[in-house]
C-alpha cells in the first residue's frame, strides 16, 4: 500500500474507449493494492469497473486541458480507459501510483500471491494435479520400446530451463545427453515433444548447436542419430530451424548457428523464417494501432494491416507447424525443431504441429495439456515475455499471443474441429498476462519450484475447466471428417484475417451482437434438458410437458456507432449550389 | 435452330476433364446448342457434368502436334497428321470455376473450342436457353413472377390515402425502362407525369419504391434531372417532388455522384436539383463507383484471389488495390445514410445518380432490407429483388454479359447486382438471425444472374421482356426458388423475425471478403459449408425434440 498516495478520488469521469463507449460516466475512483476500481455515481446502475494493476501496460498523462487532467490506461488485453480527473494534484498522484503499481519489481507484489479464492489446502494441491503431463505422454504411447524417460535432468542438473521429467530415444545414454547438452545453447538438448503413434515419427525440440563455423560434437551427432533410429520407418530426420537462414548464419559468428549437414549424417536441414521477438513486438504494436484507428477507410485499414506484417508472421508460424505435421504424418519422418534458445519459435512450431496432428489438443482439456507441456514445462519465459515484473522491455514479446492466434485462425477455417471457442483462447491470453494464478509465473519449472508456487498460488486450469460451459463451441463435432485425424489447413494468404475479437473490443462489445454460436449453445443446452426430461418421463400424457419457448433472447437493434452515424456529421452542411 | 452450323464436332471420346476439388476424370464430351455435357466413363460411379455454355466467360486453347509436323496446310494425310496430336481447352466460367478439357485430336479440339466460343456468347436473347428449358415436371407458369406493381399496390392499403397507381406508362411510351404501372402522389395527374418524365433522363421520373409504415415517410427514385448548361427548370417535376413531401418540412435527395460529377453532367444535358427551384429539398452527394470502374474492380479482385505467390503482402496489397471492399463499404454506408434519413430523421428521400438504373437500385434495396422486416424473409427478399431490379429496369443483359475472366472489350458490363449480393451477405453475416434466407440463396442468385435456365434475368427492361415473350415462354427463377424443397434449402435455420432495423457496421474490420463466392471452388469453403449444414441439423434436431 505504500505506493498509493490517494486511495480515492471523487467526480472522476471514465471512458472505456475500447468498448466504443461515447460518453464518459461520472463516478469515484479507488486505488487498491491490486486493482483500480471505478464506481459509477448513477444510483441506478452503480456499475463497477475493475482493472488489475498487472493488466496495465502503460499509463500516459497527456498535457492538461482546461477541463482538467486526464490519464490514458492501456491494458495488456488491449482495453483502453480514459480517466478525467478534475484536480491536477489528484491526477498526478494517481498517475504516480499507477505507474508504480503497474510495474511490480518483485514476484511477491504480484496478485497471485495475495489472491485467495475460497478453497482449502487440499483443493489447491489438487488444482495443481489437474493437468497431468505424464498421463498425456502415456496417452500418446510413451514410454515404449523407442522412447524412454530419462532421469538425466533430475534436480535440473543438465538444463535448468527444462522440466525434470523428459523423454529421449532409447539409445540416448546419459553420456550422450550430457555431451549433447553442452553443445546446445543453454543446455537445451533434443527431447521429445510429441510422439505420433500412427507413423511412429516424433516431434522433438532443442536449442541451436554451438557450432560456430566449424565446431562439432560427437555426442550431439550421436543424439541426432539416436533420434533418427528411434523411428523405424525412416532413415533420416528433418532438422527444422525456424529462423530466417540469414539470422541463423549470423549466429555462427557468435559461436552458435545450425547443424552442418556434412557432420550430421542423415539429416535434412530446413529453414522456415519466423522473425525474432523484436520484430514481433513492433509488429504487434502496429496491429494494435490498426485496431485503434478511429474511422479508417478500407484503404487505411488494409494498408495498416499489410504494413504491420502481423498476418505474415502468423502465416509463417502456421506454415512451420504445417511443415512439421506433414513430415510426421504424411512422410513418417521425425522432426527436430529449434530456433536460437528453443523456447519461443520452437514452442510455437511444436505446439501448432501438435494441434494439427492430434485431435485431442483441439479439445478444451487437450489445449490446456498442450500449453502446459510445450510452453510451461519446456521453459517458455512467461515472466520475461509478458512483463510480469518491471524488467528489460526488450525481453517482452507476444510469442504465445501468436500461438493462440494460429489456433484461432485454424478454428475459423475448421469451424467444427475445435471443442473450444474464441472466448477460451482470449481467457487464456488474459491469464497469461494477469498474474492472478501461478500457472504462468516465472520463466521455468525450476523457478516455479524454487518459489514454491504450488503452495503459495493456485492453478488457472481447474478454474477454466469449471467455466467450460462458456468456452464450448456448439458446432464441435468429433465425428465430422474435418475434425478427425490430421488437420490440413490451407495457408494461402486469403485464409488469414485480423483477429477482431482480441484486438478490437469495441466491435465485440457493441451491444447486443447476434452470435449464432451463442444461440446454438442455448439450443443445445435446451435440447439436452428436453432429452433428460423425455427420458425421465417416458410416459408423459399427450401435450404434457412440451416446451415451445425459444432459447435465449435475441435482439439486434444497434445504435449506429461512429462510422454508421451518417447523418449526424452531415446534417449541418448539405450541399449548396 | 441455327446452332448446328456452329457445331462441327458434337461428340468426342476419351476426353479428360479437370475441375476444382475433384480428381481428373476421363469420359465422353458432347456439345449441344446450349450445353457442354461430360459423362464419366466409369460405369460404377458415373458422373456427369452439365455446363451451360452461357456460363463460360473465357476460353483458352493450346494445341500440340505430337507427330512433329509443322506444315499445317501440307498435303500429308489428314488422319495421319491428327492422330498423334491433342489439345487443351481451359474454360473460365462466370461462376468463377475454372475447368480444363484435354481433347485428343487437334482438329476436334479446335472444333470444340470454336463451338464453345461462339455459342457461349450468342447475342440473340430469344435463342438463349431459358426459351428452351422445359423441365418435365413443370408447365409454364400462368402468372410469371411473384407479383406485379398492381398487386403490390393493392396490398399496401396504407398507400391509398395519398398515393395512387398510375398507368401513364402502359405502353412504355413515357419511360421505356419502367414497368407499365408505377406509384406516384395522388395529387399529381398523368399529364404532369408525362411532362416531368421529359425532364428526367430516360424518362425515369420520380416514383415511389418504399413506404415506411412507422412514420409514413417514403423512398423515391428517379434518374437525373435534365437541367443542361442553361439550367432549365421543369414546373411539373418540381410539383411532383413538392407533392411527395406534402405535410412535411423537407425532404432529402441522395445523389450517388460527387458534387463535381453532378456539376459536370450539366455539360451533357443532365444535372441536379438546384436549391433555388427545389428549396425544401436538401441534397447529399455520396459518390459511388459504377460502370466500367466497378467491372475492373471485380476483375482485379478475382485476379487477386487466383494469385498463387502465397505472399501475404502481395495478397493484402492486391485486395486493397482492387477496391472491391471499399465499394462494399461505400454502398452499405450510403444505404445507412438513406435509412438514417427515413427511420431516424423522419423525412422522405429521393435517390438518384445519372441513369437511375444501378446505384440508386442498389442503395434503395439495401435500405429496405435494413429497415423493413418484411423484406428479410425468402419471399420478401425475392419480391424486393423483383420490384427493385427486374421491374424497375436494371439492364441485366448489358451488365451481366460478361464477368471477371472475359477477354472481350468491356462494353456496358458492371457487377452492380453482384455487389448487392455481397452487401447483403455482409448484412447476413453481421445479423445471422435476422435474415430468413441462407448464404446459399445469395450464391444461387449471384450465379443465375450470369447464366441461367430461367428467364428472370433476361433483357434490360419490362418492355423488352414483353416484346420477346419472356413471361410466356420461360420459367421464372423466383417462383422456382419458392417451391417447398428449394425454399427449405434456401432458408436460414436460425431465422427469427425482428421488427428492429439491422444497422450494419461499416467499419473495415467488420467487412470481409465474401469467401463463399470469391473462393467458392477452394477446399476451405467446403469446411464452412459443413458448419452451416451442422447448424441446420442442430436446429432440426432441437425442433424435433421440442415437438415430441
- Whose CA is closest to B443, among B425, B455, B430? B425
Q: How many CB atoms lie within 10 A of CB B469?
A: 12
DSSP letter (8 states) at residue A174: H
ipTM for the predicted complex comes to: 0.91
Note the pLDDT tens digit of each residue in B33-71.
Answer: 999 999 987 666 677 899 999 999 999 999 876 554 444
pLDDT per residue as tens digits for the range B140-173: 888 899 999 999 999 999 999 999 999 999 999 9
Which positions 395-434 of B are in contact with A (Cβ < 8 Å)? 430-434
Residues of chain A with CATH 2.30.29.30: 8-103
What residues form DSSP beta bridges with A335? A203, A238
Q: Is B2 exposed, middle or buried (0-12, 13-18, 19+ CB in 10 A)?
A: exposed
- What is the pLDDT averaged over residues B391-405? 96
Other Cβ atoms less than 10 A from the Cβ of A108: the count is 10
Instruction: Give me the helix-helix angle, A399-413 and A345-357, nearest 10°.
Output: 20
Contacts of B512 in chain A (CB under 8 A): 497
Cross-chain Cβ contact B340/A554 below 8 Å:
no
**pLDDT tens digit string along A23-69?**
889 999 999 989 999 999 988 888 999 999 999 999 999 887 777 78
Which run of H or of E encompasses A282?
helix A277-292
Q: CB of A459 within 8 A of CB of A328?
A: no
Residue located via cell numbers 476433364: B17
* Interchain proximity A295–B507, CB inside 8 Å: yes
- pLDDT tens per residue across span B225-280: 999 999 999 999 999 999 999 989 999 999 999 999 999 999 999 999 999 999 99
Rounded CA separation A552/A514 (Å) = 11
Which B positions 158-187 lie with beta carbon below 8 A of chain A?
A: none
When pLDDT is averaged across residues B500-519 and rounded to a whole number, the result is 94
* Burial class of residue A283 in the structure, from the number of CB atoms within 10 Å of its CB (0-12 exposed, 13-18 middle, 19+ buried): buried
Q: In the predicted model, what is the mean pLDDT of residues A405-428?
A: 96
pLDDT in tens, A183-201: 999 999 999 999 999 999 9
CA A527 to chain CA mean position, Å: 33
Q: How far is B530 from chain A (nearest CA, A)?
A: 8
Q: Is A306 on the interface with B (CB under 8 A)?
A: yes
Q: Which of B252, B494, B527 sits opposite A414 (nearest CB)?
A: B527
Q: Give residue A328's Cα distance to chain centre.
A: 25
Q: Would you call A128 helix, strand, or coil by DSSP?
A: helix
Q: Are B510 and B430 in contact (CB under 8 A)?
A: yes
Pick the residue of A314, A535, A566 with the most B CBs within 10 A to test the interface with B by mutation: A566
What is the C-alpha end-to-end distance of chain B, expressed in Å?
58
Residues of A in contact with B312 (CB under 8 A): 306, 311-312, 315, 493, 496
Q: At A327, is the pLDDT very low, low, confident or very high (cuts 50, 70, 90)?
A: very high
DSSP bridge partners of B12: B29
Contact (CB<8Å) A291/B325: no
Residues 181-220 of A with CB under 8 A from B: none
Residue bearing the bigger pLDDT, B141 or A283: A283
Rounded Cα–Cα distance for residues B265 and B224 (Å):
9
Q: What is the pLDDT of residue A566?
A: 41
B310 interaction partners in chain A (CB closer than 8 Å) = 491-493
Which element (helix H / strand E) includes B284?
A: strand B281-285
Q: What mean pLDDT comes out for the span B291-303?
A: 96
How much is the mean pLDDT over chain B?
Answer: 92
Q: Which residue has the higher pLDDT, A550 or B480?
A: B480
Q: How confident is the model at residue A506 (pLDDT cuts 50, 70, 90)?
A: low
Residue B65 has what pLDDT?
67
Query: What is A307-332 written as a DSSP string?
Result: HH-HHHHHHHHHHHHHHHHHIIIII-
A314-346: b or e for each residue (b if 16 or more CB lie within 10 Å)? bbbbbbbbbbbbbbbbeebbbbbbbbbbbbbbb
Q: Is A198 annotated as a binding residue?
A: no
**pLDDT tens digits, A204-261:** 999 999 999 889 999 999 999 999 999 999 999 999 999 999 999 999 999 999 999 9
Q: Does domain A8-103 sit in CATH 3.40.50.2300?
A: no
| Euclidean distance between CA atoms A254 and B130, whole angstroms | 74
Q: CB A575 to CB B519 under 8 A? A: no
Contact present, A335 and A205 (Cβ < 8 Å): no
> What letter would DSSP give residue A344?
S
Of the listed ranges A113-122, A296-305, B86-95, B337-346, the one predicted with least confidence: A113-122
The verdict on a CB contact (< 8 Å) between A302 and B431 is no
- Output DSSP code: residue A111: G
Separation between Cα atoms, residue B432 and residue A513, nearest integer Å: 10
pLDDT of residue B44: 65
Average pLDDT of chain A is: 88
pLDDT of residue B74: 47
User: Residue B522 has what pLDDT?
Assistant: 86
Residue A339 designated active-site: yes
Report whether B403 contacts B298 (CB < 8 A): yes
- B338 with B254: CB under 8 angstroms? yes
| Chain B residues with CB-CB distance to A295 below 8 A | 507
Closest CA to A257 of A271, A269, A270, A247: A247
Over range B60-87, report the average pLDDT.
61
**Average pLDDT of span A540-544:** 43
What angle, 0 to 180 degrees and rounded to 10, lies between the N-to-C axes of helices B312-322 and B324-339? 50
**More confident position, A17 or A95:** A95
Q: Whole-angstrom Cα distance, residue A493 to residue A490?
A: 9
Provide the pLDDT for residue A514.
64
A196 beta partners: A201
Lowest mean pLDDT among A6-15, A336-345, B534-543: B534-543
Average pLDDT over residues B392-400: 96
Q: For residues B325-346, give the mean pLDDT.
A: 96
| Catalytic-labelled residue, pool A339, A350, A406, A435 | A339
Give the H/E segment covering residue A166. strand A166-169
pLDDT band (50, 70, 90) for residue A537: low
CB A150 within 8 A of CB A143: no
**What number of residues does chain B have?**
548
Strands across the sheet containing B217-221: B207-212, B217-221, B348-352, B251-255, B281-285
State whether B546 and A546 contact (CB < 8 Å): yes
**Stretch B101-111: mean pLDDT, rounded?**
92
Mean pLDDT calculated for residue range B120-140: 89
Contact A41, A26 (CB under 8 A): yes
Long-range Cβ contact pairs of A38-46 (< 8 A, separation 24 or more): A38/A12, A38/A14, A38/A83
Considering only CA atoms, which of B49, B339, B119 is closest in space to residue B210? B339
| Better-scored residue on pLDDT, B543 or A228 | A228
Q: Following CA atoms A274, A279, A280, A284 in sequence, which dihedral angle do they give, to the nearest 10 degrees?
A: -140
At residue A277, the pLDDT reads 97
Q: Is A541 on the interface with B (CB under 8 A)?
A: no
For range A98-119, the mean pLDDT: 88
Q: For residues B122 and A16, give the distance between their C-alpha atoms in angstroms, rounded to a whole number.
A: 61
CA gap A382, A181 in Å, rounded: 23
At A50, phi and psi to the nearest 5? -110, 130
Bridge partners (DSSP) listed for residue A149 = A167
Predicted local confidence at residue B2, as pLDDT: 72
- Give the integer Cα–Cα distance in Å for B69 and B85: 10
**pLDDT digits 0-9 by tens, A361-406:** 999 999 999 999 999 999 999 999 999 999 999 999 999 999 999 9
Name chain B contacts of A416, Cβ cutoff 8 Å: 527, 530-531, 534
Q: Give the model's pLDDT for residue A528.
A: 73
Which residues pair with residue B207 across a beta bridge?
Answer: B221
B interface test, pick of A480, A506, A564, A570 with most B CB neighbours within 10 Å: A564
Using CB atoms within 10 Å of the CB of residue B428, give its burial: 0 to 12 exposed, 13 to 18 middle, 19+ buried.
buried
> How far is the C-alpha of B405 from the C-alpha of B99, rounded, in Å?
13
From A78, A132, A155, A65, select the one nearest A507 (Cα to Cα): A78
Question: Helix crossing, B439-448 with B416-430: angle to 10°?
Answer: 180
Edge-to-edge, what's the strand order for the sheet holding A201-205? A191-196, A201-205, A335-338, A237-241, A267-271
Cell numbers placing B169: 406508362
Angle A108-A109-A112 from CA coordinates, rounded to 5°: 80
Amino acid at each position: 500500500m505504500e505506493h498509493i498516495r490517494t486511495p480515492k478520488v471523487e467526480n472522476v469521469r471514465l471512458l472505456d474507449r475500447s468498448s466504443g463507449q461515447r460518453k464518459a460516466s461520472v463516478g469515484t475512483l479507488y486505488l487498491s493494492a491490486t486493482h483500480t476500481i471505478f464506481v459509477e455515481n448513477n444510483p441506478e446502475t452503480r456499475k463497477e469497473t475493475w482493472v488489475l494493476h498487472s493488466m496495465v501496460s502503460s499509463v500516459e498523462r497527456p498535457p492538461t486541458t482546461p477541463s482538467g487532467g486526464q490519464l490514458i490506461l492501456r491494458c495488456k488485453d488491449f482495453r483502453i480507459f480514459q480517466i478525467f480527473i478534475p484536480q491536477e494534484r489528484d491526477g498526478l498522484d494517481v498517475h504516480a501510483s499507477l505507474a508504480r503499481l503497474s510495474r511490480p519489481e518483485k514476484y511477491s507484489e504480484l496478485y497471485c500471491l495475495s489472491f485467495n479464492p475460497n478453497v482449502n489446502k487440499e483443493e489447491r494441491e489438487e488444482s495443481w494435479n489437474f493437468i497431468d503431463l505424464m498421463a498425456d505422454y502415456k496417452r500418446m504411447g510413451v514410454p515404449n520400446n523407442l522412447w524412454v524417460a530419462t532421469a538425466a535432468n533430475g534436480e535440473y542438473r543438465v538444463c535448468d530451463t527444462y522440466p525434470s521429467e523428459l523423454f529421449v530415444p532409447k539409445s540416448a545414454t546419459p553420456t550422450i545427453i550430457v555431451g549433447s547438452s553442452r553443445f546446445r545453447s543453454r543446455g537445451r538438448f533434443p527431447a521429445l515433444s510429441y510422439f505420433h503413434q500412427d507413423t511412429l515419427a516424433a516431434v522433438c525440440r532443442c536449442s541451436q548447436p554451438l557450432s560456430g563455423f566449424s565446431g562439432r560434437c560427437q555426442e550431439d551427432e550421436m543424439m541426432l542419430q539416436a533420434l533418427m533410429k528411434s523411428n523405424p520407418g525412416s532413415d533420416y530426420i528433418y532438422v527444422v530451424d525456424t529462423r530466417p537462414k540469414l539470422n541463423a548464419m549470423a549466429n555462427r559468428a557468435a559461436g552458435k548457428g545450425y547443424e552442418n549437414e556434412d557432420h550430421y549424417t542423415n539429416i535434412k536441414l530446413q529453414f522456415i523464417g519466423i522473425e525474432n521477438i523484436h520484430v514481433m513486438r513492433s509488429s504487434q504494436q502496429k496491429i494494435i494501432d490498426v485496431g485503434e484507428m478511429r474511422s479508417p477507410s478500407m484503404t487505411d485499414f488494409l494498408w495498416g494491416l499489410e504494413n504491420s506484417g502481423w498476418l505474415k508472421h502468423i502465416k509463417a508460424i502456421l506454415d512451420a507447424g504445417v511443415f512439421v505435421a506433414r513430415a510426421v504424418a504424411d512422410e513418417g519422418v521425425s522432426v527436430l525443431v529449434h530456433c536460437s534458445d528453443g523456447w519461443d519459435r520452437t514452442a510455437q512450431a511444436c505446439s501448432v504441429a501438435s494441434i494439427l496432428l492430434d485431435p485431442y489438443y483441439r479439445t478444451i482439456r487437450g489445449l490446456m495439456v498442450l500449453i502446459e507441456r510445450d510452453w510451461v514445462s519446456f521453459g517458455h519465459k512467461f515472466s520475461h515475455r509478458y512483463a510480469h515484473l518491471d524488467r528489460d522491455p526488450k525481453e517482452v514479446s507476444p510469442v504465445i499471443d501468436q500461438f493462440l492466434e494460429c489456433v484461432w485462425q485454424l478454428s475459423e477455417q475448421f469451424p467444427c474441429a475445435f471443442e473450444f471457442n474464441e472466448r477460451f483462447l482470449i481467457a487464456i491470453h488474459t491469464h497469461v498476462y494477469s498474474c492472478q494464478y501461478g500457472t504462468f509465473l516465472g520463466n521455468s519449472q525450476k523457478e516455479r519450484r524454487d518459489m514454491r508456487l504450488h503452495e503459495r498460488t493456485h492453478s488457472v486450469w481447474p478454474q477454466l475447466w469449471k467455466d467450460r460451459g462458456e468456452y464450448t463451441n456448439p458446432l464441435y463435432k468429433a465425428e465430422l471428417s474435418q475434425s478427425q485425424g490430421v488437420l490440413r489447413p490451407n495457408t494461402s494468404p486469403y485464409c488469414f484475417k485480423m483477429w477482431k475479437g482480441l484486438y478490437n473490443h469495441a466491435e465485440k462489445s457493441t451491444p447486443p451482437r447476434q452470435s449464432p454460436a451463442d444461440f446454438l449453445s442455448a439450443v443445445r443446452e435446451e435440447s439436452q434438458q428436453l432429452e433428460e426430461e423425455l427420458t425421465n418421463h417416458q410416459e408423459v400424457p399427450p401435450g404434457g410437458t412440451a416446451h415451445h419457448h425459444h432459447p435465449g433472447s435475441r435482439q439486434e437493434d444497434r445504435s449506429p456507432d461512429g462510422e454508421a452515424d451518417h447523418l449526424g456529421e452531415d446534417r449541418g452542411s448539405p450541399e449548396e449550389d | 435452330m441455327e446452332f448446328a452450323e456452329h457445331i462441327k464436332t458434337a461428340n468426342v471420346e476419351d476426353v479428360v476433364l479437370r475441375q476444382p476439388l475433384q480428381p481428373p476424370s476421363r469420359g465422353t464430351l458432347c456439345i449441344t446448342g446450349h450445353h457442354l455435357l461430360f459423362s464419366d466413363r466409369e460405369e460404377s460411379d458415373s458422373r456427369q457434368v452439365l455446363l451451360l455454355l452461357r456460363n463460360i466467360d473465357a476460353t483458352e486453347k493450346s494445341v500440340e502436334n505430337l507427330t512433329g509436323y509443322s506444315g499445317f496446310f501440307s498435303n500429308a494425310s489428314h488422319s495421319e497428321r491428327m492422330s498423334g496430336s491433342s489439345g487443351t481447352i481451359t474454360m473460365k466460367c462466370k461462376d468463377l470455376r475454372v475447368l480444363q478439357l484435354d481433347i485428343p485430336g487437334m482438329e476436334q479440339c479446335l472444333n470444340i473450342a470454336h463451338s464453345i466460343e461462339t455459342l457461349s456468347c450468342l447475342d440473340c436473347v430469344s435463342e438463349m436457353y431459358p426459351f428452351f428449358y422445359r423441365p418435365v415436371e413443370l408447365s409454364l407458369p400462368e402468372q410469371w413472377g411473384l407479383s406485379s406493381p398492381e398487386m403490390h399496390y393493392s396490398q399496401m392499403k396504407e398507400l391509398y390515402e395519398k398515393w395512387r397507381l398510375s398507368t401513364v406508362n402502359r405502353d412504355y411510351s413515357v419511360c421505356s425502362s419502367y414497368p407499365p404501372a408505377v406509384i406516384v402522389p395522388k395529387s399529381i395527374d398523368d399529364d404532369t407525369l408525362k411532362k416531368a418524365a421529359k425532364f428526367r433522363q430516360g424518362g425515369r421520373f420520380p416514383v415511389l419504391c418504399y413506404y415506411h409504415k412507422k412514420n409514413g415517410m417514403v423512398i423515391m427514385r428517379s434518374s437525373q434531372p435534365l437541367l443542361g448548361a442553361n439550367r432549365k427548370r421543369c414546373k411539373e417535376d418540381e410539383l411532383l417532388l413538392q407533392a411527395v413531401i406534402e405535410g412535411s418540412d423537407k425532404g432529402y435527395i441522395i445523389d450517388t455522384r460527387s458534387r463535381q460529377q453532378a456539376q459536370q453532367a450539366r455539360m451533357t444535358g443532365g444535372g441536379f436539383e438546384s436549391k433555388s427551384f427545389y428549396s425544401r429539398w436538401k441534397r447529399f452527394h455520396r459518390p459511388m463507383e459504377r460502370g466500367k470502374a466497378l467491372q475492373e474492380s471485380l476483375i482485379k479482385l478475382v485476379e487477386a484471389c487466383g494469385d498463387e505467390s502465397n505472399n501475404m503482402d502481395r495478397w493484402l496489397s492486391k485486395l486493397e488495390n482492387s477496391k472491391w471492399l471499399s465499394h462494399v463499404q461505400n454502398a452499405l454506408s450510403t444505404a445507412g445514410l438513406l435509412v438514417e434519413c427515413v427511420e431516424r430523421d423522419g423525412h422522405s428521400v429521393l435517390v438518384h445518380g445519372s441513369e437511375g438504373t444501378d446505384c440508386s437500385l442498389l442503395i434503395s434495396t439495401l435500405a429496405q432490407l435494413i429497415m423493413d422486416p418484411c423484406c428479410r424473409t425468402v419471399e420478401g427478399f425475392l419480391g424486393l429483388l423483383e420490384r427493385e431490379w427486374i421491374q424497375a429496369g436494371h439492364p441485366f443483359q448489358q451488365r451481366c454479359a460478361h464477368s471477371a475472366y472475359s477477354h472481350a472489350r468491356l462494353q456496358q458490363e458492371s457487377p452492380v447486382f453482384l455487389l448487392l449480393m455481397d452487401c447483403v451477405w455482409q448484412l447476413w453475416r453481421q445479423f445471422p438471425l435476422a435474415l430468413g434466407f441462407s448464404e446459399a440463396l445469395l450464391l444461387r442468385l449471384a450465379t443465375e444472374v450470369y447464366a441461367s435456365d430461367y428467364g428472370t434475368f433476361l433483357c434490360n427492361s419490362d418492355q423488352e421482356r414483353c416484346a420477346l415473350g419472356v413471361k410466356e415462354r420461360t420459367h421464372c427463377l423466383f417462383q422456382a426458388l419458392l417451391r417447398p424443397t428449394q425454399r427449405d434449402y434456401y432458408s436460414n435455420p436460425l431465422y427469427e423475425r425482428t421488427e428492429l432495423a439491422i444497422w450494419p457496421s461499416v467499419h473495415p474490420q467488420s467487412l470481409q471478403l465474401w469467401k463463399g463466392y470469391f473462393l467458392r471452388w477452394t477446399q476451405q469453403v467446403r469446411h464452412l459449408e459443413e458448419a452451416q449444414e451442422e447448424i441446420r441439423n442442430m436446429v432440426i434436431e432441437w425442433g424435433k425434440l421440442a415437438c415430441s
